[in-house]
Structure 1
Amino acid sequence: MIRKRAALAAMGVAAVALAGCSTAAGDDDGGGGEDGKVEVSMLVNVTPNLTEEFWNELVAPFEEANPGIDVIIQNPGAEGVAAALPRLLAAGDAPDVVQSLPPTPELAPELVDLSGYDWATEGPLAEQYTIDGKYYMAGIGVQLQSLMFYNKTAFEEAGITELPTTLEELDEALAALSAAGWTPIQTGGDWMSSHALQALALPSVVGTDPDWYARMSSGEATFSETYGTFIERYADWVAAGYVPTEALGIQYPDAEQAFLAGESAIYPMGSWFAGTEAAAENPAEIGVFRAPAIEGVSEPAMGANIASPYSIPSSSPVVDEAALLVEFLTTDETAVIDQLIVDGNFRDGYAYETTALGDELFQIVAETPAGSYTPTGEGYGERRLPAGYSEELNTQTQALMGGTPAADVIGAMDDWFAANAG
């Protein structure tokens, strides 16, 4: 196979041409290698839902329509896309397309500016992810984050007849579930630890202060004054046994399967879990409610990230072909719907049949004002926290789960912001 070098200087012209392109790429390639095909490598996130088989089947129609292009799926293995890409960039072996890694100010210089492509500028959450007014990625839809999946049998046995709409009501529900003999909260180690904490905190933190990301980044606000009470609340949950002591040793796939099997009551997780539930055999009866805020917050924030962001490293020698692939992945109706279904994501104008749990998620989407969406973790676009925040919050959350006093965790986070913000 050959790798054809695309002229980056011609990107403005190429953007216009490719945006309206309806012919198959590679028909007039003329060869140069044994089969005359162009390889386009794509580094992807591989999960229990997004298997290598899924990715290869997803791009197969594109390859059929573009016989001169062969898409090579790259599995980053245990290190994941976020860790693999910097290593590959440094080694001069970057992929041609990167999936699942939103652009950051640090990464942007390594990426192709997609501002000339309508499919990039008009896609889901496109403007929110811009950096200095430029579009460096295109996604397939919206991925909800601030959700609480729940075991309906557990709620019935605990006598909970109405879903919690405030954190105060959630505290009461957790106590009832524990008294009924259920493990109230299913979480685990790795990144899952801070995911549960953010589901607890962000609806209130950002719902109270929509400019929280900017104020934290500039040093105008402190972690202790904005987030501290939620650290204390999570510590209370740990002390009460709502978060099991063995949680730190539970890996993501095991936590997921335990909840599906009906071994726990509430699973704070993103909307992609609906795809897992839909594919499971005989799962427990599961419902979902949006993560609540404290009493008095009129519009709780909903964590929402771009679903499956795609970007193109500027070092790629096949930018034109890579852009054709990303356009297909983010606009072809079948390709988009397949990706939405597998991870339980959503996009206006792209409807698909789903389970009862999926219908509940669609209802949450319909009831969520567009202005209440908030980033999670370090954020995205112009709403960002200092680099390394997600890792530090996860480290400190795990310390909290391991018995470190809440005051020490809050103090450590204040120290971290003092050293990194401003």
Structure 2
Amino acid sequence: MGSKFPELFEKRFLLACSGGLDSVVLTHLCHESQLDFALAHCNFGLRGEESDLDEKFVSELAEKIKKPFFLTHLDTLGYVNKHKVSVQMAARELRYAWFKKILKENNIPILVTAHHADDDLETFLINLSRGTGIDGLVGIPSKTDFLCRPLLPFSREQILEYAKSNNLEWREDKSNNDTKYLRNKIRLEIIPALKELHPTFLDNYKNTQSFLRQTSKIADHRLQEIKKKLFVKESNFTRIAIDKLKELEPLSAYLYGLLNEFGFTEWDNIADLLDAMSGKYVLSDTHKLLKDRSFLLLSERQFDDSTQQHFSININQEIVAEPLEMKFTVVDNWDNNTDAIIYVAKKALKYPLVIRKWKNGDYFYPLGLQGKKKLSKFFKDEKIDVFSKKDQWLLCSGEDIVWVIGRRADERFKVKEDTKEILRIEATL
């Protein structure tokens, strides 16, 4: 353990202990190695008295080995009803959220769990049954940025043998024998049949995992090279050239490899997006992929409705802090407008001024042009992408647009030779 997980010998860590065979063995190993750790136990409240006895067992174990003990009681069924997820998924999300909270509050850098080789195989078979790419087949990682799984190389049989040889006691969770849960069915019925077909099945699986991880690293290296060429980062989104994407073969595999990390699952819809009309998009839980002429635009989803926000500016107000920094100064002379600075006739303004997002139907009189123009047409002529349009702020006087901020002022408010009060407006873009 020391060679593969040296950090466990150097830093304090949190050990997740259910009271079952695997976590009790891991606790014993860490204690015998004189490591610095605390135990954490979740009571999910799913098995009545049995859950309480698990809690009591782990509490007494922590006291016996003189280790700090963290405990929580979780409303698992309430979470299931609220979020419409399975009991097992609810338990996972609840416990990891609590573990991370404990790590942060106590300045503990590492969480240790007792996942082993059979858990890894079960996860592989679950992902295989549901359909997955290579990321779902490479197995459970032995390390992440905050998590270590030192028992991952060992089988359930080896762990049981260790427990018996050291006269360890542990709790048995009877729900682990309920085959209505997919993982239990795989553990109790499918894996034993596979091991019966081939006695060295688990060892063969580990070798296969090693080959898959090596292949995955090669693929990841290739994908990163492509991302550097194709993914052009803008201020709040990433632009991807569709013609360059279409040169990749096999296209479906590259689309998955390039976009899978952003949570997308509707791969047929993403492939169709390449030839769709501008404005079409595909959503994941966290991101949006939108077709904009010859590009795909990738951005994080925004769930607040900022289009309804209005920010007022009073007549004597000189500084504005939100939604962007602006400065209003009365000056004696004016210069040419720039993207960040405009000069207007203050007398033409109706206060309070308002900063707001643009909406369909908005129009203005672009400075230097004759007549009015719809903002949607202005954006199109200026080749402004849809994400930039979405984030566009306007400075308005009553219903009239004074400035499409950062782009064009309005002709109606321009400074003339006889203007007596000139207002300089500067925005930090």
With the length of structure 1 as denominator, give the TM-score of the two structures. Answer: 0.22
Instruction: From the CA coordinates, give the structure whose radius of gyration is larger.
Output: 2
TM-score computed with the length of structure 2 as normaliser:
0.22
Q: Which has the higher contact order (CA 8 A, sep 6+)?
A: 1
Write 1 or 2 for the structure with the bigger share of strand.
2
Q: Which has the higher helix share?
A: 1
